[in-house]
């Protein structure tokens, strides 16, 4: 395999983006995961804690740790959902809104830098290819016919 595989390019690119975001977030005493959570929480109405994980593509255990840290740092507060007393809404504090704005500026600056260095056509192609890959994966069109090595007779 002399040529890099698609998954290698994706992984290497995401690792570079992740490192960049963590470095920028670190300047404000934060992390990429915290910034992503801040951007996902509705700044006006709050967001049900149960819907945050699926929106972010995270498991509940990882998200719980992030939310606990965010609460300890004064970025969010939890309030009972007035429409459903069994659930909790996450609300941004004033500090949380400031940090959300910081995170938003970081993400938008990355978008600007990419758009300054690739054509609209290249970007549209990239997005189309990424969406195709996501669809192939989510619709299980890649490995659905494969035989599991565990169940295969040798």
Over residues 29-42, the pLDDT tens digits come to 999 999 999 999 99
**pLDDT value, residue 111:** 98
Tokens 């967001």: give the residue: 47
> What gap in Å lies between CA 32 and CA 44, rounded to an integer?
22
Mean pLDDT, the chain, rounded, equals 92
Q: Which residues pair with 81 in a beta bridge?
A: 84
Question: Residue 123 contacts by C-beta under 8 Å, 6 or more apart in sequence?
Answer: 114, 115
**pLDDT value, residue 151:** 60
Helix (H, G, I), strand (E, B) or coil at 77: strand
Give the mean model confidence (pLDDT) for residues 88-111.
Answer: 98
**pLDDT value, residue 144:** 74
pLDDT digits 0-9 by tens, 114-123:
999 999 999 9
**pLDDT value, residue 1:** 60
Whether residue 153 is predicted with pLDDT greater than 80 in this model: the reply is no
pLDDT digits 0-9 by tens, 123-141:
999 999 999 999 999 998 8
- For the chain, report the end-to-end CA distance as a whole number of angstroms: 27
pLDDT digits 0-9 by tens, 68-77:
999 999 999 9
């Amino acid at each position: 395999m002399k040529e890099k595989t698609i998954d290698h390019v994706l992984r290497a690119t995401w690792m570079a983006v992740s490192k960049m975001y963590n470095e920028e977030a670190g300047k404000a005493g934060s992390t990429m995961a915290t910034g992503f959570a801040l951007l996902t929480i509705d700044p006006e109405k709050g967001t049900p804690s149960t819907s945050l994980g699926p929106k972010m593509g995270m498991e509940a255990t990882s998200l719980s740790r992030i939310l606990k840290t965010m609460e300890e740092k004064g970025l969010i507060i939890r309030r009972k959902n007035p429409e459903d007393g069994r659930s909790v809404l996450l609300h941004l504090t004033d500090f949380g809104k400031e940090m959300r704005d910081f995170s938003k500026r970081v993400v938008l600056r990355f978008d600007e830098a990419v758009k300054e260095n690739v054509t609209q056509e290249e970007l549209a192609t990239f997005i189309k290819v990424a969406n195709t890959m996501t669809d192939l994966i989510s619709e299980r069109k890649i490995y659905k016919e494969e035989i599991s090595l565990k169940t295969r007779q040798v």
